[in-house]
Each structure stands twice: as C-alpha cells, then as structure tokens.
Structure 1
Amino acid sequence: MVGIILASHGDFATGILQSGTMIFGEQQNVKAVTLHPGDSPDSLKDRMKEAIATFENSEEVLFLVDLWGGTPFNQANGLCLENKDKWTVVSGLNLPMLIEAYTSRLSMNSAEEIAAAIIEPAQEGINTTSAKFQSKDKHTKSSAKTIPAGTVVGNGKLNIVLARVDSRLLHGQVATAWTQATSPNRIIVVSDSVAKDDLRKKLIEQAAPPGVKANVIPIKKLIEISKDPRFGNTKALLLFENPQDVLQAMEGGVEITSLNIGSMAHSVGKVMVNKVLSMNADDVAVFEKLKQNNVKFDVRKVPNDSNSNMDELLKKAKDELAEQNK
C-alpha cells in the first residue's frame, strides 16, 4: 500500500489527519509532519524520513503538502528527486484530496497514479453557497424534456447501491467515504418529516459531494420511484433516519436486501448498545422483523470499520431494556 505523508506549516497536517480519520476510519502508513517556527528545513526533512521509515513499504510514497514552493514542499520534493518515479508530491492539501487518496490507494499501487486521481476531486471540493459565485453551468436546471411515463431506461429498475440508517442523514462520512465506496449518482434522503422542512432540505442538497445529486423525498415517493422504469439508470444511496421508515418502504414494495446501520441517536427510553447506536423496544422489534424479511445487516460507521454482530447488539438492547424496566 502506498504510504502517505501529510506535511504543512503549523498543525494543519495533524488536524486534517484527524479529520480524515473521523470520516474514513483509521489508516495505516499515513503520517503527519509539521513545520513550526524555529524548525530548520533539515530537521523537517529528517522527520519526514523518520515517518517514512515506519511504513510497511517505503517504495511508493505520496507527499500531500499545503503550499507549492513552501518549506514542506521543498523538502518533500528533494526526497522525491532522490526516489524518481516512486515518490510524488501534490500541493494544495484539502480534505476531499485526502479522502480521494485514501480511496484510490485501495486499488492503485503507485504514488503517481494516486496523484493523478486526486487533483480533480480536490478542485471540485472548492465551492460556495453564495449564488453570486456559483457556476452557472453547474446549477442551471436541465432543459431536457421529461421522459414520458412508462419509458424503460436501462434495466428499468432502481439500483440501490447502499441503504443506510443514520439519524444524522447526510454528513461527512456519507458524503465522502460511503459515496466513494459505493459510487452512487444520486443520494436520496427518505424522510416524511425532513421532506416537509424546506431549510433542512436545502442544507442536505448543498451537502452533496461533487458530481452527485441529493434529493429529499417522503417514503411514499420512494415507493413510487422504485416501481418507475424511468429510474433504471439511477444508482441510489438511500438514507433513512430510523429502521421504522425502512420497514415502511419495504412494505410498500421497495426491495432492500442489505441495510447499513450507521448511527442512531440516543433519546429518552433508549439504551446505548455501542458508541453510536441506541435502541428502544420498537427499534429492536423492527430490526427483528427486517431480519425475518431476509435483510442482511452491515453495522459500520465507515467502510474501513469491521462489521459488528447485529444479533449481539439486539441481545444487548433487550437485556438492558429489561433491566431498565425492572
């Protein structure tokens, strides 16, 4: 696996490493090296070498630095010149760049390949909510005619690449890690309550990652879409606030065979079964009904996490709820 060095003026590299961990999970062969006032260029270079020495394989190394021409860049570039065609530097470090680098090195074996793959996502990550500066091409509504009802597009069936229960709905881990892992062309938040809230809808639509559209729809609308052959080319990442909404959608005919469980917020009457999941008796009953309908559970916050055992979590919830009701 390609090693990654994050290098910056001040603690920026350390902070973005922590941010990347929150979104994509713990990563091996990644180190942050920082330059502070009073540090010499040579001492920074030595720390880069020490960090690389900890990698399992130091043959391929990618340096992600904050500023072209700055000291971190210059020292990284000097090391790259000593390791031509194996080590590479990319400047302008931002979070979309880092997430793309993490994703790319799962399938790419060279620093140069990853460097080429991360430039465009890093650039697309620069945007603004100000309509004055938004790209007209990107936000102008399509003038394409509406596809006539009954038209079969693709295989005529909505392709659900991921169905996820997450009380936070669309946030960093979904917008980056899960989108990278599943490659949807549309994120669909399925919630009757959020669909009625114009402010929340707008915030969710703006939180969509580059190249992916986000929509908020009620459960009834998802049921209609799942039966509409015009959505045959749609690769959908579905987000539900709770398992009850998933069950309602399935009872309406939406085919969900696998369900990713991300987070369920704690509230009165619920018990914590792990750091991010809380359940009440109704949640447990719904999950068991989903299981009876042959739904497979994938209990992970981010793709790099290991899958927790849902049966054990449900048993823990039952035991703690029983104890709570004594």
Structure 2
Amino acid sequence: MVGIIIASHGEFAAGIKQSASMILGETEGLESVVFMPSEGPDDLYGNIQKAIEKLGTEEVLFLVDLWGGSPFNQSNRFFEENPEKRAIVAGLNLPMLLAALSEREDYDTAHEVAKAIISEAKDQVKVRPEELEPKSEGKAVAASQDDTPKGAIPEGTVIGDGKIKFVLARIDTRLLHGQVATSWTKATNPNRIIVVSDSVSKDNMRKKLIEQAAPPGVKAHVIPLKKLVEVSKDPRFGNTKALLLFENPQDALKVIEEGVPIKELNIGSMAHSVGKIQINNVLSVDQNDVETYKRLKELGVKFDVRKVAADKPVDLFKLIKEKESEGLKL
C-alpha cells in the first residue's frame, strides 16, 4: 500500500488528517507532520524521516501545503533519494487527501496515486455565486461531448435493459454529506444520488444545498417517495445507477411495500433525539424503528450496518438486543 505523508506549516496537516478520519474512518498508512514556529528545517527533516519509518514502505506520496515552502523543501530531499517510488503534490486540501486515500486502493505506486488525484483536487475548488468562476475551455468542450439525452424522453421508451440499478440504499439522517460523497460514491460508483424524502422535496433551500453537494461527475436529485415508486417502474431509467438516501427506515419501508426492489439497506447514521436509545456511536433508535426493521426483515431485506465503506459490517439486531435492558424489545 502507498504510504501518505501530509506536511504543513502549523497544525493544518494534523487537522486535515482528523477531518479525513471523520469522513472515511481511521486509516492505516497515513502520517501527518507539522512545522511549528519554534522549529527549524532540521527538525522538520527529522520528523518527516520518522514518519517515513512509521509507514514502513518505500512507496510514499507527500501532500504538502505550499510549493517551495519548508514542508515541500524537506519532503523534496526524501523524494530525491528515491524519485522512482516517491511523489510530491502541493496545494493540499481535503478533497485531495480523500482522493489519495481512496485511489491508493486501486493503485500500487505513489506516482499513479499522485496522477489520479490532481483533477479531483482541482474540481472541488468552486465558488458561489457561480458567475465568479472563470470560464474553462476544457469544461466547454466536455459539455459539448456529453451524450446524455437532451429534452424529454417519450414515455414507454426503453433505455438499456429498462431497469434502474440501485447500487446502494442508505439510511442516514444527514442525507448527502462527506462520507456519502466520498467513501460511498467511490465504493459504489453511481451516476445519480437520489434523496428520497417527502419533507425535503418540499424544502427548496435543502433541495438546492443537496443538489450542490454532489461530488464531481454525479448528479444529485431530491424526490418524494411516490416519485421513486414511479421511477423504479419506468424503463427510461435503464442506464441509471442510483445511490438512494433515506432519512429514516419508515420511508424505506413505504417504498419497498409499494414495490421498489431494494434488497439491502445500508444503515449508516441515525441521529439521537428525545425517546431514542443509542445502540452504537452513530445509531439511535426507538421502538418504532425496531418494529420497522423487523417488518423490513420479514420482507426479505438484508441490513448492512456501516458508517463508511471501510468499516466492518455489524449485526443490527444484535446491537438492538444488547439494549433490551434500556427498553428496546425485539
């Protein structure tokens, strides 16, 4: 596995490492090195050397804050020792780090990972209002080559095999956020993220924020429950690979009972509120939730309890069983 060292002036590197762990979970092969005002170049060099030793691999990717700054200069000394197996990328930001952590699962060398993360790190630099963003000729060319059908597609048209693909159906109170936009999008490769909620579909502000939070290359939509039932039976969505997001298990049950073919639910996050009991660090349920999960199980739905894709699945009903003394009943 490619080792990653993030290095910065001040505590930036340590903070961005913590941010990544909140989104992707704790990861191996990642070290942070901070350069403090009281330290000199030799101190920084020694700390980077210690970080390399902790990684235990010659394939090392350095992510640094500034090209030409001290973290870059000292990392460059180690790069020069073994340029065939090491790489440096400057301009460190969180999307860059998340991309590196994900891409190294597919690549074996630091050079390959470095090459793969550049476009994603740049694509996430955006501005609002959108008219402040400089026009890109490359983007215009890409748009002109888009082969997505334009305009309304006549009813009854069969696209692909005529069946929408649900690459993931997730219960998550927060809906579309960092863990979904990075970890789960990378793991499931959807071309659409669909938030399914009657309440959110009526809230124009929340809808807009969700649509704008979609990762590069993926479109986000917010639709009511009834619309998902219709879409699941519409042959015009045959080329759609959808990642579904529900706020609660009750909404998922309603669409499944209406015939939406969801075979498995990823239980990712259910926020604590009055009357709910915490069954692990991210899931809180009440008796209504328990009864809903039991009904889903009767319908043949399987459960995948994971916050991020890298986590190990746990048994939902075992977690509930352990809380029977606090009032939950199976």
Q: Same fold (TM over 0.5)?
A: yes
> Aligned residue for 1:210?
216
Of 143-152 and 286-295, deviating more is 143-152
> Aligned residue for 1:200?
206
Q: Which residue of 242, 250, 256 maps to 2:248? A: 242
For residue 170 of structure 1, what is the amino acid of its counterpart? Answer: L
Which TM-score applies when normalising by structure 2?
0.93
> Aligned residue for 2:37?
37
Q: Deviations over 1:281-300 (max 9, x none)?
A: 11101101111122111111
Q: Deviations over 1:165-212 (max 9, x none)?
A: 001111111111111111111110000000001111111111111211
> Aligned residue for 2:78?
79
Shift of 1:61: 0.4
5 Å matches for 1:1-326?
A: 1-55=1-55, 57-134=56-133, 144-321=150-327
The whole-number CA distance in structure 2 between the counterparts of 1:293 and 1:318 is: 24
Question: What secondary structure does 2:327 align onto?
Answer: helix
The whole-number CA distance in structure 2 between the counterparts of 1:314 and 1:132 is: 50
Of 130-139 and 271-280, deviating more is 130-139
Question: What secondary structure does 1:267 align onto?
Answer: coil
Question: What secondary structure does 1:132 align onto?
Answer: helix
Say whether the 8 Å CA contact 1:284–1:317 is kept in structure 2.
no
Shift of 1:99: 0.8
Shift of 1:135: 6.6
Question: What secondary structure does 1:155 align onto?
Answer: coil
Say whether the 8 Å CA contact 1:62–1:111 is kept in structure 2.
yes
Q: Deviations over 1:61-97 (max 9, x none)?
A: 0000011111111111111110121011011111111
For residue 246 of structure 2, what is the amino acid of its counterpart? Answer: F
Of 2-11 and 264-273, deviating more is 264-273
For residue 182 of structure 1, what is the amino acid of its counterpart? Answer: T
The whole-number CA distance in structure 2 between the counterparts of 1:59 and 1:297 is: 40
The whole-number CA distance in structure 2 between the counterparts of 1:126 and 1:205 is: 17
Say whether the 8 Å CA contact 1:280–1:317 is kept in structure 2.
no
Unaligned runs of 5+ in 2: none
Aligned CA distance change for structure 1 residues 101 and 322 (closer, same or farther; 3 Å): closer
For residue 204 of structure 1, what is the amino acid of its counterpart? Answer: I
Which TM-score applies when normalising by structure 1?
0.94
Question: What secondary structure does 1:297 align onto?
Answer: strand
Aligned CA distance change for structure 1 residues 23 and 273 (closer, same or farther; 3 Å): same
Unaligned runs of 5+ in 1: none
Say whether the 8 Å CA contact 1:164–1:261 is kept in structure 2.
yes
For residue 65 of structure 1, what is the amino acid of its counterpart? Answer: V
Q: Deviations over 1:89-110 (max 9, x none)?
A: 0111111111111111112110
Shift of 1:162: 0.7
RMSD: 1.9
